[in-house]
Amino acid sequence: MTAEQHFQVALRLGDDAMILGQRLAEWCGHGPVLEEDIAMSNIALDLLGQARGYYSRAGALEGLGRDEDQLAFFRTDQEYRNHLLVERPNGHFGDTMVRQFLFDAFSLERTQFLANQTVDEDMAAVAAKAVKEVRYHFSHSSQWMLRLGDGTEESHRKVQQSLDDLWPYAGEFFVADDIDEAASLAGLLPDLSHVAHAWHARVSEVLIQATLQKPTTTWSQRGGKHGIHSEHLGFLLAEMQVLPRTYPDAAW
Amino acid sequence: MSTSAKEWPLWEIFVRSRQGLGHKHVGSLHAADAEMAITNARDVYTRRQEGVSIWVVPASAITASSPDDKEPLFDPANDKVYRHPTFYKLPDEVNHM
Protein backbone atom coordinates (compact mmCIF):
# COMPACT_ATOMS: atom_id res chain seq x y z
CA MET A 1 0.00 0.00 0.00
CA THR A 2 1.34 3.43 -0.93
CA ALA A 3 1.25 6.50 1.32
CA GLU A 4 -1.24 8.06 -1.09
CA GLN A 5 -3.55 5.05 -0.74
CA HIS A 6 -3.26 5.20 3.05
CA PHE A 7 -4.27 8.87 2.91
CA GLN A 8 -7.22 8.05 0.65
CA VAL A 9 -8.47 5.44 3.10
CA ALA A 10 -8.54 7.97 5.95
CA LEU A 11 -10.13 10.56 3.69
CA ARG A 12 -12.94 8.23 2.60
CA LEU A 13 -13.73 7.37 6.21
CA GLY A 14 -13.83 11.03 7.12
CA ASP A 15 -15.94 11.98 4.10
CA ASP A 16 -18.62 9.35 4.81
CA ALA A 17 -19.00 10.64 8.36
CA MET A 18 -18.81 14.31 7.37
CA ILE A 19 -21.44 14.18 4.64
CA LEU A 20 -23.90 11.98 6.51
CA GLY A 21 -23.48 14.17 9.60
CA GLN A 22 -24.22 17.28 7.55
CA ARG A 23 -27.28 15.63 5.99
CA LEU A 24 -28.67 14.61 9.39
CA ALA A 25 -28.00 18.08 10.76
CA GLU A 26 -30.44 19.41 8.14
CA TRP A 27 -33.19 17.80 10.25
CA CYS A 28 -32.33 20.03 13.21
CA GLY A 29 -35.51 21.94 14.04
CA HIS A 30 -37.52 19.92 11.51
CA GLY A 31 -37.75 16.51 13.19
CA PRO A 32 -41.15 14.78 13.34
CA VAL A 33 -41.14 15.09 17.14
CA LEU A 34 -38.87 16.98 19.50
CA GLU A 35 -37.27 13.84 20.92
CA GLU A 36 -36.36 12.48 17.49
CA ASP A 37 -35.09 15.90 16.44
CA ILE A 38 -32.61 15.76 19.31
CA ALA A 39 -31.73 12.13 18.56
CA MET A 40 -30.82 12.95 14.94
CA SER A 41 -28.81 15.99 16.00
CA ASN A 42 -26.92 13.83 18.50
CA ILE A 43 -26.09 11.31 15.80
CA ALA A 44 -25.04 14.12 13.46
CA LEU A 45 -22.65 15.40 16.12
CA ASP A 46 -21.25 11.90 16.70
CA LEU A 47 -20.53 11.66 12.97
CA LEU A 48 -18.94 15.10 12.91
CA GLY A 49 -16.63 14.00 15.72
CA GLN A 50 -15.69 10.87 13.80
CA ALA A 51 -15.01 12.94 10.68
CA ARG A 52 -12.65 15.17 12.66
CA GLY A 53 -10.70 12.16 13.89
CA TYR A 54 -10.30 10.62 10.46
CA TYR A 55 -9.49 13.98 8.83
CA SER A 56 -6.78 14.68 11.37
CA ARG A 57 -5.24 11.33 10.54
CA ALA A 58 -5.62 12.00 6.81
CA GLY A 59 -3.94 15.38 7.15
CA ALA A 60 -1.01 13.85 9.04
CA LEU A 61 -0.63 11.10 6.44
CA GLU A 62 -0.73 13.57 3.57
CA GLY A 63 1.95 15.71 5.24
CA LEU A 64 1.07 18.91 3.39
CA GLY A 65 -0.09 20.72 6.50
CA ARG A 66 -3.82 20.48 5.73
CA ASP A 67 -5.87 20.23 8.93
CA GLU A 68 -9.40 18.89 9.45
CA ASP A 69 -11.01 22.24 8.58
CA GLN A 70 -9.14 22.55 5.33
CA LEU A 71 -10.09 19.05 4.33
CA ALA A 72 -13.73 19.62 5.19
CA PHE A 73 -14.28 23.12 3.89
CA PHE A 74 -11.80 23.69 1.10
CA ARG A 75 -12.36 20.73 -1.20
CA THR A 76 -14.81 20.62 -4.11
CA ASP A 77 -17.37 17.88 -4.68
CA GLN A 78 -15.03 16.09 -7.07
CA GLU A 79 -12.42 15.88 -4.35
CA TYR A 80 -14.87 14.27 -1.92
CA ARG A 81 -14.61 10.49 -1.59
CA ASN A 82 -17.80 9.53 0.26
CA HIS A 83 -20.19 6.79 -0.81
CA LEU A 84 -23.13 8.06 -2.86
CA LEU A 85 -25.64 6.78 -0.29
CA VAL A 86 -24.68 9.32 2.39
CA GLU A 87 -25.23 12.31 0.10
CA ARG A 88 -28.79 11.24 -0.83
CA PRO A 89 -31.26 13.98 0.15
CA ASN A 90 -33.17 13.43 3.39
CA GLY A 91 -36.56 12.90 1.72
CA HIS A 92 -39.19 11.98 4.30
CA PHE A 93 -38.34 10.56 7.72
CA GLY A 94 -38.56 6.98 6.41
CA ASP A 95 -36.05 7.75 3.64
CA THR A 96 -33.66 9.19 6.20
CA MET A 97 -33.98 6.21 8.53
CA VAL A 98 -33.46 3.66 5.73
CA ARG A 99 -30.36 5.54 4.57
CA GLN A 100 -29.13 5.58 8.15
CA PHE A 101 -29.92 1.91 8.72
CA LEU A 102 -28.10 0.73 5.57
CA PHE A 103 -25.09 2.87 6.41
CA ASP A 104 -25.00 2.05 10.14
CA ALA A 105 -24.94 -1.69 9.42
CA PHE A 106 -21.96 -1.15 7.11
CA SER A 107 -20.22 1.35 9.36
CA LEU A 108 -20.54 -0.99 12.34
CA GLU A 109 -18.64 -3.78 10.57
CA ARG A 110 -15.98 -1.42 9.32
CA THR A 111 -15.57 0.44 12.62
CA GLN A 112 -15.36 -2.78 14.64
CA PHE A 113 -12.49 -3.93 12.43
CA LEU A 114 -10.76 -0.56 12.79
CA ALA A 115 -11.18 -0.57 16.56
CA ASN A 116 -9.88 -4.12 17.03
CA GLN A 117 -7.73 -5.21 14.13
CA THR A 118 -6.37 -2.42 11.97
CA VAL A 119 -2.62 -1.85 11.77
CA ASP A 120 -3.05 1.93 11.97
CA GLU A 121 -3.01 2.78 15.69
CA ASP A 122 -4.23 6.34 15.23
CA MET A 123 -7.24 5.21 13.27
CA ALA A 124 -7.85 2.49 15.85
CA ALA A 125 -8.03 5.16 18.54
CA VAL A 126 -10.64 7.12 16.57
CA ALA A 127 -12.60 3.93 15.90
CA ALA A 128 -12.46 2.75 19.52
CA LYS A 129 -14.52 5.78 20.49
CA ALA A 130 -16.68 5.67 17.36
CA VAL A 131 -17.66 2.02 17.68
CA LYS A 132 -19.79 2.67 20.76
CA GLU A 133 -21.53 5.52 18.97
CA VAL A 134 -22.16 3.48 15.84
CA ARG A 135 -23.56 0.63 17.88
CA TYR A 136 -26.13 3.05 19.27
CA HIS A 137 -26.83 4.52 15.81
CA PHE A 138 -27.52 1.06 14.46
CA SER A 139 -29.82 0.19 17.33
CA HIS A 140 -31.67 3.49 16.85
CA SER A 141 -32.16 3.09 13.09
CA SER A 142 -33.06 -0.61 13.50
CA GLN A 143 -35.78 0.34 15.98
CA TRP A 144 -37.24 2.67 13.40
CA MET A 145 -37.12 0.03 10.67
CA LEU A 146 -39.20 -2.22 12.94
CA ARG A 147 -41.65 0.50 13.88
CA LEU A 148 -42.17 1.79 10.36
CA GLY A 149 -42.00 -1.58 8.59
CA ASP A 150 -44.26 -3.35 11.04
CA GLY A 151 -46.34 -0.24 11.76
CA THR A 152 -49.33 0.97 9.77
CA GLU A 153 -50.15 0.06 6.19
CA GLU A 154 -49.00 3.50 5.09
CA SER A 155 -45.71 3.45 7.00
CA HIS A 156 -44.95 -0.04 5.66
CA ARG A 157 -45.61 1.02 2.07
CA LYS A 158 -43.51 4.17 2.39
CA VAL A 159 -40.51 2.57 4.07
CA GLN A 160 -40.52 -0.36 1.64
CA GLN A 161 -40.37 2.22 -1.17
CA SER A 162 -37.45 3.98 0.57
CA LEU A 163 -35.67 0.66 0.87
CA ASP A 164 -36.19 -0.17 -2.82
CA ASP A 165 -34.99 3.31 -3.83
CA LEU A 166 -31.84 3.36 -1.69
CA TRP A 167 -30.77 -0.28 -2.00
CA PRO A 168 -28.64 0.18 -5.16
CA TYR A 169 -26.64 2.88 -3.37
CA ALA A 170 -25.74 0.48 -0.56
CA GLY A 171 -24.26 -1.82 -3.19
CA GLU A 172 -21.43 0.66 -3.68
CA PHE A 173 -20.09 -0.24 -0.20
CA PHE A 174 -18.89 -3.58 -1.50
CA VAL A 175 -17.43 -2.66 -4.89
CA ALA A 176 -13.73 -2.90 -4.04
CA ASP A 177 -11.20 -0.86 -6.01
CA ASP A 178 -7.39 -0.99 -5.91
CA ILE A 179 -7.28 1.16 -2.75
CA ASP A 180 -9.68 -1.16 -0.90
CA GLU A 181 -7.72 -4.20 -1.99
CA ALA A 182 -4.36 -2.75 -1.02
CA ALA A 183 -5.74 -1.58 2.35
CA SER A 184 -7.24 -4.98 3.07
CA LEU A 185 -4.01 -6.73 2.11
CA ALA A 186 -2.04 -4.42 4.41
CA GLY A 187 -4.42 -5.07 7.32
CA LEU A 188 -5.66 -1.50 7.36
CA LEU A 189 -9.27 -2.13 6.33
CA PRO A 190 -11.40 -5.30 6.42
CA ASP A 191 -11.87 -7.39 3.32
CA LEU A 192 -15.01 -5.97 1.69
CA SER A 193 -16.35 -9.40 0.77
CA HIS A 194 -16.33 -10.32 4.47
CA VAL A 195 -18.01 -7.04 5.32
CA ALA A 196 -20.65 -7.70 2.66
CA HIS A 197 -21.41 -11.09 4.15
CA ALA A 198 -21.83 -9.71 7.68
CA TRP A 199 -23.80 -6.73 6.40
CA HIS A 200 -26.32 -8.89 4.56
CA ALA A 201 -26.85 -11.06 7.63
CA ARG A 202 -27.30 -8.05 9.91
CA VAL A 203 -29.64 -6.22 7.55
CA SER A 204 -31.71 -9.31 6.70
CA GLU A 205 -32.35 -10.08 10.34
CA VAL A 206 -33.91 -6.67 10.95
CA LEU A 207 -35.82 -6.60 7.65
CA ILE A 208 -37.47 -9.94 8.38
CA GLN A 209 -38.62 -8.74 11.79
CA ALA A 210 -39.80 -5.51 10.20
CA THR A 211 -41.86 -7.52 7.63
CA LEU A 212 -39.99 -5.73 4.84
CA GLN A 213 -38.93 -7.34 1.58
CA LYS A 214 -35.21 -7.34 0.95
CA PRO A 215 -34.77 -5.95 -2.59
CA THR A 216 -33.48 -8.50 -5.05
CA THR A 217 -31.68 -6.09 -7.35
CA THR A 218 -27.95 -6.71 -7.56
CA TRP A 219 -27.16 -3.73 -9.72
CA SER A 220 -25.44 -0.98 -7.81
CA GLN A 221 -24.59 2.68 -8.08
CA ARG A 222 -20.92 3.60 -7.97
CA GLY A 223 -18.57 6.53 -8.40
CA GLY A 224 -18.53 8.27 -5.02
CA LYS A 225 -15.22 6.79 -3.93
CA HIS A 226 -13.62 8.26 -7.05
CA GLY A 227 -15.18 11.70 -6.81
CA ILE A 228 -18.02 11.12 -9.27
CA HIS A 229 -21.04 12.36 -7.34
CA SER A 230 -24.70 13.12 -7.79
CA GLU A 231 -25.72 16.75 -8.24
CA HIS A 232 -26.95 16.76 -4.64
CA LEU A 233 -23.47 16.88 -3.13
CA GLY A 234 -22.66 20.26 -4.67
CA PHE A 235 -25.61 21.93 -2.98
CA LEU A 236 -24.79 20.28 0.33
CA LEU A 237 -21.18 21.48 0.17
CA ALA A 238 -22.22 24.98 -0.91
CA GLU A 239 -24.26 25.33 2.26
CA MET A 240 -21.69 23.63 4.48
CA GLN A 241 -18.70 25.57 3.16
CA VAL A 242 -20.09 29.04 2.54
CA LEU A 243 -18.94 30.55 5.81
CA PRO A 244 -15.31 29.42 5.91
CA ARG A 245 -14.95 30.18 2.21
CA THR A 246 -16.38 33.68 2.60
CA TYR A 247 -14.41 34.41 5.76
CA PRO A 248 -11.41 32.05 5.64
CA ASP A 249 -10.01 33.37 8.92
CA ALA A 250 -13.25 33.20 10.87
CA ALA A 251 -12.85 31.70 14.33
CA TRP A 252 -15.24 31.00 17.19
CA MET B 1 -52.71 18.83 26.80
CA SER B 2 -54.70 16.97 24.19
CA THR B 3 -54.64 13.20 24.25
CA SER B 4 -55.62 12.50 20.66
CA ALA B 5 -54.74 9.11 19.24
CA LYS B 6 -52.09 10.75 17.07
CA GLU B 7 -50.03 11.90 20.00
CA TRP B 8 -47.63 9.60 21.82
CA PRO B 9 -48.23 9.15 25.54
CA LEU B 10 -46.27 11.13 28.09
CA TRP B 11 -43.50 9.52 30.17
CA GLU B 12 -41.81 10.80 33.30
CA ILE B 13 -38.05 10.31 33.28
CA PHE B 14 -35.84 9.50 36.25
CA VAL B 15 -32.05 9.45 35.95
CA ARG B 16 -29.50 8.19 38.43
CA SER B 17 -26.37 10.29 38.21
CA ARG B 18 -22.84 9.12 38.74
CA GLN B 19 -22.71 10.40 42.32
CA GLY B 20 -26.38 10.10 43.12
CA LEU B 21 -27.73 7.24 45.17
CA GLY B 22 -31.28 7.39 43.89
CA HIS B 23 -33.02 8.10 40.62
CA LYS B 24 -34.05 11.72 40.34
CA HIS B 25 -36.90 13.15 38.30
CA VAL B 26 -35.43 15.12 35.41
CA GLY B 27 -38.44 15.84 33.20
CA SER B 28 -40.87 14.25 30.82
CA LEU B 29 -41.12 13.37 27.13
CA HIS B 30 -43.35 11.70 24.56
CA ALA B 31 -42.75 8.18 23.26
CA ALA B 32 -44.79 5.39 21.70
CA ASP B 33 -43.69 2.77 24.23
CA ALA B 34 -41.25 2.12 27.06
CA GLU B 35 -38.38 1.09 24.79
CA MET B 36 -38.64 4.30 22.78
CA ALA B 37 -38.99 6.29 26.01
CA ILE B 38 -35.63 4.93 27.19
CA THR B 39 -34.00 5.76 23.85
CA ASN B 40 -35.47 9.25 23.83
CA ALA B 41 -34.53 9.83 27.46
CA ARG B 42 -30.97 8.87 26.65
CA ASP B 43 -30.91 11.47 23.89
CA VAL B 44 -32.78 14.23 25.68
CA TYR B 45 -31.57 13.93 29.28
CA THR B 46 -28.16 12.24 29.31
CA ARG B 47 -26.33 14.11 26.56
CA ARG B 48 -23.86 15.65 29.00
CA GLN B 49 -22.92 12.50 30.89
CA GLU B 50 -25.62 13.06 33.48
CA GLY B 51 -26.56 9.47 34.05
CA VAL B 52 -25.67 5.86 34.60
CA SER B 53 -29.24 4.53 34.78
CA ILE B 54 -32.66 5.57 33.48
CA TRP B 55 -36.18 4.80 34.66
CA VAL B 56 -39.21 5.66 32.55
CA VAL B 57 -42.71 5.72 34.02
CA PRO B 58 -45.98 6.39 32.17
CA ALA B 59 -47.16 9.78 33.41
CA SER B 60 -50.67 8.31 33.66
CA ALA B 61 -49.42 5.87 36.31
CA ILE B 62 -48.54 8.68 38.69
CA THR B 63 -51.07 9.88 41.26
CA ALA B 64 -50.28 13.36 42.50
CA SER B 65 -51.40 15.05 45.70
CA SER B 66 -53.83 17.88 45.18
CA PRO B 67 -52.61 21.47 45.72
CA ASP B 68 -55.86 22.06 47.67
CA ASP B 69 -54.67 19.53 50.26
CA LYS B 70 -51.48 21.46 50.91
CA GLU B 71 -52.51 22.72 54.35
CA PRO B 72 -53.71 19.47 55.92
CA LEU B 73 -50.86 17.52 54.38
CA PHE B 74 -47.89 19.70 55.13
CA ASP B 75 -48.63 22.51 57.57
CA PRO B 76 -48.89 20.29 60.67
CA ALA B 77 -45.17 19.55 60.35
CA ASN B 78 -44.30 23.24 60.70
CA ASP B 79 -44.17 23.41 64.48
CA LYS B 80 -42.68 19.99 65.18
CA VAL B 81 -39.01 20.86 65.19
CA TYR B 82 -38.25 17.80 67.33
CA ARG B 83 -38.69 15.67 64.21
CA HIS B 84 -35.49 17.10 62.79
CA PRO B 85 -32.35 15.31 63.88
CA THR B 86 -30.57 18.60 64.43
CA PHE B 87 -30.03 18.00 68.12
CA TYR B 88 -27.55 15.21 67.55
CA LYS B 89 -23.88 15.57 66.96
CA LEU B 90 -22.86 13.45 63.97
CA PRO B 91 -19.53 11.63 63.89
CA ASP B 92 -17.40 12.65 60.90
CA GLU B 93 -17.43 9.12 59.50
CA VAL B 94 -21.14 9.30 58.76
CA ASN B 95 -21.76 10.28 55.17
CA HIS B 96 -24.92 10.81 53.15
CA MET B 97 -27.03 12.42 55.87
For A41-88, how does the pLDDT look when each residue is reduced to its tens digit (9 = 90+)?
Answer: 999 999 999 999 999 999 999 999 999 999 999 999 999 999 999 999
- Specify if B95 maps to a domain: no
The CATH number that applies at residue A63 is 1.20.1260.10
- Specify if A38 maps to a domain: yes
Distance CA A180, CA B13 (A): 46
Number of domains in chain B: 1
User: Contact A140/B39, CB-based, under 8 Å?
Assistant: yes
User: What's the mean pLDDT when you consider all of chain B?
Assistant: 85
Residues of A contacting chain B (CB within 8 angstroms)? 33-36, 38-39, 42, 140, 143, 147
pLDDT of residue B2: 44
User: What's the mean pLDDT when you consider all of chain A?
Assistant: 96
- Specify if B96 maps to a domain: no
Number of A/B CB contacts below 8 angstroms equals: 27
pLDDT of residue B1: 44
CA distances from A184 to A187, A191, A192 (A): 5, 5, 8
Domain hosting A197: range is 3-215+223-246
Domain hosting B44: range is 10-87
Distance in Å, alpha carbon of B44 to nearest chain A alpha carbon: 7
Q: What is the pTM of this model?
A: 0.88
Give the tens place of pLDDT for each residue, A28-43: 999 999 999 999 999 9
User: Contact A38/B35, CB-based, under 8 Å?
Assistant: no
- Specify if B24 maps to a domain: yes
Beta strands at B51-58 and B10-17: parallel, antiparallel or unpaired? antiparallel
* Confidence band, pLDDT 50/70/90 cuts, at residue B6: confident
Number of domains in chain A: 1
Give the tens place of pLDDT for each residue, A117-140: 999 999 999 999 999 999 999 999
The CATH number that applies at residue B19 is 3.10.20.520
- Specify if B93 maps to a domain: no
Distance CA B97, CA B95 (A): 6
In chain B, the largest separation of any two C-alpha atoms, in whole Å, equals 58
User: Quick check: B37 pLDDT over 80?
Assistant: yes
Give the tens place of pLDDT for each residue, B75-95: 888 788 777 777 777 788 877
Question: Mean pLDDT throughout A8-27?
Answer: 98
Question: Mean pLDDT throughout A229-233?
Answer: 97
